[in-house]
């Protein structure tokens, strides 16, 4: 996989091919290619796709889906033209927006919370030096969070993760295996992987990321769309947002049913279902919300800028929440970063 530190060149190379629009005439799109993660932090799209809610909402537009391990890989697919819209965290969304000078836009939020630093028993803030910690991918949302946390404790890392505390970027399933074997000392990962490290790996939570944010709320997952696709097919994007809202309402109304449905979908996507204890704990760590919590993306951007993972840039226009506001029938804050 390509890291976020290599994505700027990739995005520049593929910008014309990936974001130059489509030959399809304006109006409802014939096909919507949607990306998301096989994670509990993407419970809305996982549930909505599996239960047929997204396809039903899109009507005659055919839904094609693809799943990813982490945001930078999803952004790569977006700009390679493999997907039209993708659910990703704030880090990759910020990077893609700045590097493409606004060729992508956030149209809705999806999830708050659901990320933790889980470590082996005996690992504390006081003895982190010399430890090896993992996250899903360099430049991804959890990578930014981990590097920011370590910097606050006096540790710095180079682009490859070397430092007094080593950071390794790897697939979440590999992280669980390496944690169990003792090859790594901990990991900053999204749900359900944090819960799996706790329940199946015998780990302890050193940092619940919610504790680092005012009110315990921060954006974990956004819905990011190519600007060219939105301009040509606003009806399709609106239908997708409406379908997400419908799925979110069902999850909130009957979380037990939603947990079972998401678990069944994850088994289909990954080949293995989660244990009842893991899926229950994982759901307790997240909040389903269409609010993009724009103010927290601003903070995440500053973290990415300060770390040197993303070149500092203007985020004005990263949000276009007009369709979301229409669907919800109420104001949604864009923290002054909206297009309208």
The predicted-structure confidence for 22-51, as pLDDT tens digits, reads as follows: 578 899 999 999 999 999 999 999 999 999
What distance lies between CA 208 and its chain's CA centroid? Answer: 17
How large is the angle between the packed helices 71-79 and 7-19, nearest 10 degrees? 40
167 and 250 part of one domain: no
Q: Which of 193, 216, 239 is the last residue of a domain?
A: 216
> DSSP assignment, residue 214?
G
pLDDT over threshold 50, residue 9? no
Report helix, strand or coil for 70. coil
Q: Are residues 125 and 182 in the same domain?
A: yes
Residue after which a domain boundary falls, among 216, 247, 274: 216
pLDDT at residue 320 above 90?
A: yes
Q: What is the pTM of this model?
A: 0.89
Indicate if 232 and 89 belong to the same structural domain: yes
Q: Is the pLDDT of residue 322 over 90?
A: yes
Q: Tokens 């290599």 label which residue?
A: 6
Evaluate whether residue 335 is within a structural domain. no
Q: How far is CA 59 from CA 31, 55, 215, in A?
A: 10, 6, 38
Phi-psi region of 122 (alpha: psi -120 to 50; beta: other; left: phi over 0): left
Q: How far apart are CA 192 and CA 274, in angstroms?
A: 8
DSSP-derived letter for residue 209 is: G
Separation of alpha carbons 59 and 71, rounded Å = 28
Q: 324 in a domain, yes or no?
A: yes
Residues 30 and 102: their CA atoms lie apart, in Å, by 25
Same domain, 179 and 195: yes
User: Does position 94 have pLDDT exceeding 80, yes or no?
Assistant: yes
Residue 286: pLDDT over 80: yes
What is the extent of the structural domain holding 71? 7-112+217-328
Residue with tokens 């279902």: 273
Q: Are residues 67 and 201 in the same domain?
A: no
Q: How confident is the model at residue 340 (pLDDT cuts 50, 70, 90)?
A: low
Is residue 285 in some structural domain? yes
Give the model's pLDDT for residue 289. Answer: 98
Q: What is the pLDDT of residue 274?
A: 97
HSE (side-chain half, CA atoms, 13 Å) at 79: 27
Do the domain assignments include residue 334? Answer: no
Quote the tokens at residue 266.
């994850």
Q: What is the pLDDT of residues 145-190, one digit of tens each?
A: 999 999 999 999 999 999 999 999 999 999 999 999 999 999 999 9
Question: What is the SS3 string spanning 216-229?
Answer: HCCEEEEEEEEHHH
Q: How many Å separate Cα 223 from the centre of its chain?
A: 9
For residue 67, give Cα distances in angstroms to 92, 124, 226, 241: 15, 34, 17, 19
- Report the distance separating Cα 33 and Cα 58, nearest Å: 12
Q: CATH number, domain at 154?
A: 3.40.190.10
239/301 same-domain check: yes
265 inside domain: yes
**216, 244, 261 - which closes a domain:** 216
The reply to whether 168 and 122 lie within a common domain is: yes
Do both 198 and 245 map to the same domain?
no
How far is Cα 9 from Cα 200, in angstroms, rounded to an integer? Answer: 39
Assess whether 180 and 168 both reside in one domain.
yes
Q: Would you say 67 and 35 are in contact if contact means Cβ atoms under 8 Å apart?
A: yes
Residues 209 and 221 in one domain: no
Whether residues 85 and 11 share a domain: the answer is yes
- What is the average pLDDT value for the chain, to the nearest integer? 92
Can you tell me the distance from the alpha carbon of 75 to that of 85, in angstroms, rounded to the nearest whole number?
9
Establish if 2 belongs to a structural domain: no
Are residues 94 and 223 part of one domain? yes
**Band (203; pLDDT cuts 50, 70, 90):** very high
Position 333 in a domain: no
Tally the domains of the chain: 2
In a domain, 337, yes or no: no
- Number of Cβ within 10 Å of residue 205's Cβ equals 17
Q: Which helix (H) or strand (E) covers residue 243, if one does?
A: helix 234-253
């Amino acid at each position: 996989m390509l890291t976020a530190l290599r994505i700027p060149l990739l995005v520049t190379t593929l910008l014309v091919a990936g974001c130059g629009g489509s030959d399809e005439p304006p109006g409802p799109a014939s096909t919507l290619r949607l990306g998301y993660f096989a994670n509990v932090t993407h419970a809305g799209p996982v549930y909505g796709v599996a239960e047929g809610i997204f396809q039903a909402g899109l009507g005659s537009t055919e839904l094609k889906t693809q799943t990813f391990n982490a945001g930078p890989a999803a952004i790569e697919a977006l700009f390679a033209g493999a997907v039209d819209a993708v659910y990703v965290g704030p880090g990759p969304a910020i990077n893609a927006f700045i590097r493409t000078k606004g060729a992508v836009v956030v149209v809705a939020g999806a999830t708050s919370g659901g990320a933790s630093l889980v470590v082996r028993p005996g690992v504390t803030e006081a003895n982190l030096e010399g430890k090896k910690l993992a996250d899903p991918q360099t430049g991804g949302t959890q990578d930014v969070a981990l590097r920011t946390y370590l910097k606050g404790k006096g540790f710095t890392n180079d682009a490859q993760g070397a430092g007094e505390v080593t950071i390794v970027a790897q697939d979440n399933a590999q992280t669980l295996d390496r944690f169990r074997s003792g090859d790594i000392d901990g990991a900053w990962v999204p749900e359900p992987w944090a819960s799996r490290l706790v329940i199946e790996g015998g780990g302890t939570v050193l940092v619940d990321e919610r504790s680092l944010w005012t009110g315990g709320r921060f954006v974990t997952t956004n819905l990011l769309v190519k600007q060219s696709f939105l301009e040509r097919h606003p009806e399709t994007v609106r239908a997708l947002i409406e379908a997400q809202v419908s799925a979110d309402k069902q999850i909130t109304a009957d979380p037990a049913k939603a947990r079972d449905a998401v678990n069944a979908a994850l088994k289909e996507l990954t080949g293995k279902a989660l244990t009842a204890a893991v899926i229950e704990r994982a759901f307790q760590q997240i909040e389903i919300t269409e609010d993009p919590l724009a103010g927290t993306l601003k903070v995440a951007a500053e973290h990415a800028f300060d770390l040197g993972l993303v070149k500092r840039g203007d985020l004005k226009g990263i949000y276009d929440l007009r369709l979301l506001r229409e669907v919800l029938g109420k104001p949604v804050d864009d923290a002054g970063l909206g297009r309208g």
